[in-house]
Structure 1
């Protein structure tokens, strides 16, 4: 990570926006990484005695993890012990010139340190102050510890995102951390920036990762709240209750089938030699779907992963291979979109946005 911030082109949309980032681990740093990629100037405030745990992950480059560099290469850094009056005074001096404060401590910690929203607002009335926590600043769980798996469990998502009679599967990425602590935080911050431009005042933002996970129940949850059936394992369109699913090939790899619309169903069934099942495929009753899924699985098991990749490469049927990460990084679509870039030390994931003139 560099000691000075590189803002890049003056045409970046957040050029000139200044962020003071006290967060660690993934949610806050990912949020400030997005804004740094968009041109914001980000200053990380780190503890001199308690390093960010992400920094020690493997593999390391010059003693710092690749993950930490991915999150922070476009930011500046300073080291302050917030338990000292000198550090608190330095933060209060800095905040005069900053637009946004981002923090990820448990509720009340920043207040006790003397750098909470009310204290800093007196110095900079236009300050936008964003707090990211697991459960939010209110409610009986406000002081409770948690991680991504806990937020997904409490949100209801984990219960119906599984096979019947089987345990939920731990995800390979932090869904609640990224959807709440990162993406929701960025959206809220940028909305507050627009409001400040219109009304000339800052505000406090309370971001809960559990709230964000709960809000992801957008389809099944909305139906349940309206009096429909409660979401359960393998009963919905998207969680294995239909032929929208993953299917094993003869060599133990998988194909993802999302052919819900009639035109895609027809192309799928034709490619698999199952056109006679068209009526059953369109019938979303449990009995018909069981028969269709069994036939689709038998068909995919008859050939190898490479065979089906080549077959569906030329068929627009919403059928794609389940790739390893390395295969995904080298996929023609992602390489054409330049989704892997050269970082300061190693290749890195590129931001998922493109501004076209």
Structure 2
């Protein structure tokens, strides 16, 4: 086997083997989390093959209408943790589970007798992940908050948005997902590797504010080493250059990220003004303002779909700002299989976002959409389903 042909054949054989296994089938996860950060983390683990058991309060309702996605492929039991028999059920379950994920305020699980110390005494190999807004320590540890608060405290909102309109209002939950969910999964999987090498579990303290603060990855050095105050529309990537969104004639928007010279040249050609390239390459502030103004006026001359057709022919790092409905139908995302049909357990299917992780040895199995809370009470707790 040589070159591309050999690699494709190897990939095909690996994918064939993937039908017989998934990546994390040896892991059992006990999930006490609610809302978004924890459930999205355990969704990722379930998509990767882990056996996830969701523990919910009796009477829990899908008030957001999203739990059938977030609880995909998970089993569900209901327990009232204020009752001693429920605490005993958890302690019994922990003997056979690898990972516990909880999202209560600091101290709640300890008061219930379900903190890391108590459960570690039952299962020394237990990996115990706590996700909170501010972490298990510090003056804010008991303070309530939401995504918008965490990214504000973390400094992300301080240099996002515009000087005129203030901080940007994000359409997705940066602290919850990029901060809480993804860092929790990274921490858990690193703990799994540590346990395989040493035989010991550990406690993981995920602060959504800490993890959001870490997302200042590109801009932080400008401040910490260079002393630059981070402000809206001051940096290359936050509106201080032509790297920005541009309104079209019909009120839609295009994103322009043509930073490198070849892409910048293609941008000028696409908007019908190749002479602007020399202006774009000048580093003084006045030239930058003149170039950005010219690009803004050019985009206002044509409709959204006209620009789509034009930029389809140019590699200029200029792409349309799509609605979610449009994104779900985009040929790139369709080719990548990012929308899947998942059985709902009632003879129907639901369209959901697919697992985004693709490997040569793994194919996700979408067992079912999120089930009614307590659907596995009889199987696991030997009590009636609720």
TM-score normalised according to structure 2 size: 0.86
Relative to 1, partners in 2 of residues 1:195 and 1:42: Cα closer, same or farther, differing over 3 Å? same
2:355 matched residue in structure 1: 351
Inter-partner Cα distance in structure 2 for 1:334 and 1:227: 39
| Pairwise CA distance, 1:125 | 0.3
Residue-pair matches, total: 339
- Summarize the alignment of residues 1-357 of structure 1 with structure 2, pairs less than 5 Å apart: 9-49=19-59, 51=60, 55-57=62-64, 65=65, 67-345=66-344, 346-357=350-361
Deviates more, 1:203-212 or 1:225-234: 225-234
1:309-348 C-alpha deviation (Å, 9 max, x unpaired): 0000121111100000000000000000010000224100
1:118-161 C-alpha deviation (Å, 9 max, x unpaired): 00000000000000000000000000000000001111111111
| Pairwise CA distance, 1:180 | 1.8
Deviates more, 1:100-109 or 1:266-275: 266-275
Aligned to 1:130, the other structure's residue is in SS state strand
CA contact (8 A) 1:224 1:230 kept: yes
| Pairwise CA distance, 1:283 | 2.7
1:50-88 C-alpha deviation (Å, 9 max, x unpaired): x26xx112xxxxxxx2x1100002100111111111111
1:237-287 C-alpha deviation (Å, 9 max, x unpaired): 111111110001111111100000011001111111222222321234322
Inter-partner Cα distance in structure 2 for 1:296 and 1:182: 38
Q: Which runs of 5+ in 1 are unaligned?
A: 1-7, 58-64
Inter-partner Cα distance in structure 1 for 2:284 and 2:82: 62
1:81-121 C-alpha deviation (Å, 9 max, x unpaired): 11111111111110000000000000000000000100000
Inter-partner Cα distance in structure 2 for 1:284 and 1:127: 56
Inter-partner Cα distance in structure 2 for 1:159 and 1:283: 28
CA contact (8 A) 1:130 1:205 kept: yes
1:26-49 C-alpha deviation (Å, 9 max, x unpaired): 000000000000000000111114
Inter-partner Cα distance in structure 1 for 2:285 and 2:57: 56
Deviates more, 1:103-112 or 1:170-179: 170-179
Deviates more, 1:282-291 or 1:13-22: 282-291
CA contact (8 A) 2:162 2:168 kept: no
Inter-partner Cα distance in structure 2 for 1:263 and 1:235: 24
Relative to 1, partners in 2 of residues 1:321 and 1:179: Cα closer, same or farther, differing over 3 Å? same
CA contact (8 A) 2:103 2:131 kept: yes
| Pairwise CA distance, 1:355 | 1.3
| Pairwise CA distance, 1:10 | 4.3
Aligned to 1:235, the other structure's residue is in SS state coil
| Pairwise CA distance, 1:9 | 5.0
CA contact (8 A) 1:73 1:344 kept: no
Moved over 4 A (4+): none
Inter-partner Cα distance in structure 2 for 1:9 and 1:211: 38
Q: Which runs of 5+ in 2 are unaligned?
A: 1-17, 345-349, 362-386
TM-score normalised according to structure 1 size: 0.93
